[in-house]
């Protein structure tokens, strides 16, 4: 099979190669998926820059990619959950960096796998599991519910956009930070936008004079603002700022969880969660996709199509 690989750690995606590799073995409790689309996430290139070296081992050559949508073409022993031909999605992070989703086929443990939402294209479905799962886990941790006010830092980003939609589906009010060029987009999602920069806490206070019930930080570096606008007893969490734990906040590191992904799929099929695709790339264009992701200004998901 063809796959995109990093031959070694590097911060330069130009080192990526497309190689012919053996078809993955279908180990017990797994399914072999023919990849139709794979989502690009910042963690893909951060991990290959050595950013997760203290947490996860790498066995080179490494196929990057943790988001996948495809068709089941092989069944490991004792996998009654799925059948050949099933259309599925997964946040398929494994314990070792080696066999990712930027390949023609991928073997995935069944506990990570959910059925593809019928309402989404392959490209949209591939952009859902990791970013959507991060948003869902964050809002679950914050216990966001109807009648509450949630502040989302980086609300127009991949994770932030999902968090806005999930919170609105629960009946919460959402205030979202973003550059002014993304304010119309946030209004479409149901959020009240505020601009980044000096005076942010004052702008949030103008919209929520009594403070907000919860804060979800998807960018980092926002702790001062978070604490300034949070109600007494309010809750806050971050995916990027370890300092929040010293101030009663929670760090979020989303786990691969097929049941969680199924919840996202259900929201999509109910019309309450949309996935915006910014661009698609072939396997020989993954380096370009990573460079775009590294720029940090993409709205919507970048997708690789084998």
Q: How do residues 149-185 score in pLDDT, each as one tens digit?
A: 999 999 999 999 999 999 999 999 999 999 999 999 9
CA atoms of 135 and 80, how far apart (whole Å):
29
**Distant-in-sequence, close-in-space partners of 63: CB < 8 Å, separation ≥ 6:** 3, 4, 5, 21, 98, 99, 100, 101, 102, 103
Rg (CA), the chain: 19
Same domain flag for 176 and 220: yes
* 266 within domain boundaries: no
Same domain flag for 240 and 148: yes
Same domain flag for 120 and 37: yes
The CATH number given to whatever domain includes residue 190 is: 3.40.50.720
Same domain flag for 197 and 292: no
Assess contact for 292 and 298: CB atoms under 8 A: yes
Give pLDDT tens digits for 209-229: 999 999 999 999 999 999 999
pTM beyond cutoff 0.75:
yes
Contacts 24+ apart (CB under 8 A), 194-199: none
Give pLDDT tens digits for 54-101: 999 999 999 999 999 999 999 999 999 999 999 999 999 999 999 999
CA atoms of 226 and 212, how far apart (whole Å):
9
Our count of domains for the chain comes to: 2
Of 123, 86, 112, 136, the closest CA to residue 273 belongs to 136
């Amino acid at each position: 099979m063809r796959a995109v690989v990093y031959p070694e750690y590097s911060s330069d995606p130009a080192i990526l190669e497309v190689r012919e590799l053996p078809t993955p073995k279908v180990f017990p409790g797994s399914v072999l998926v023919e990849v139709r689309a794979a989502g690009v996430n910042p963690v893909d290139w951060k991990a290959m820059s050595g950013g997760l070296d203290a947490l996860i081992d790498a066995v080179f050559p490494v196929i990057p990619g943790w988001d996948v949508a495809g068709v089941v073409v092989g069944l490991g022993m004792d996998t009654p959950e799925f059948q050949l031909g099933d259309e599925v999605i997964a946040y398929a992070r494994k314990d070792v960096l080696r066999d990712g989703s930027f390949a023609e086929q991928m073997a995935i443990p069944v506990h990570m796998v959910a059925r593809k939402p019928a309402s989404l294209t392959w490209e949209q479905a591939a952009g859902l599991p990791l970013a959507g799962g991060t948003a869902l886990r964050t809002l679950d941790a914050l216990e966001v519910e109807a009648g509450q006010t949630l502040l989302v830092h980086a609300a127009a980003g991949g994770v932030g956009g999902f968090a806005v939609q999930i919170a609105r589906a629960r009946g919460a009010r959402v205030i979202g930070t973003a550059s002014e060029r993304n304010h119309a987009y946030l209004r479409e999602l149901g959020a009240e936008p505020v601009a980044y920069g000096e005076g942010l806490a004052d702008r949030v206070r103008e919209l929520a004079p009594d403070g907000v019930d919860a804060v979800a930080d998807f960018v980092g570096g926002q702790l001062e603002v978070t604490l300034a606008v949070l109600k007494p007893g309010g809750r806050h969490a971050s995916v990027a700022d370890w300092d929040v734990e010293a101030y009663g906040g929670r760090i979020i590191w989303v786990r691969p969880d097929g049941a969680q992904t199924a919840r996202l799929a259900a929201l999509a099929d109910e019309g309450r969660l949309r996935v915006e695709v910014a661009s698609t790339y072939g396997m020989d264009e993954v380096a370009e996709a990573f460079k775009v992701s590294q720029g940090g200004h993409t709205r919507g998901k970048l997708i690789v199509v084998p």
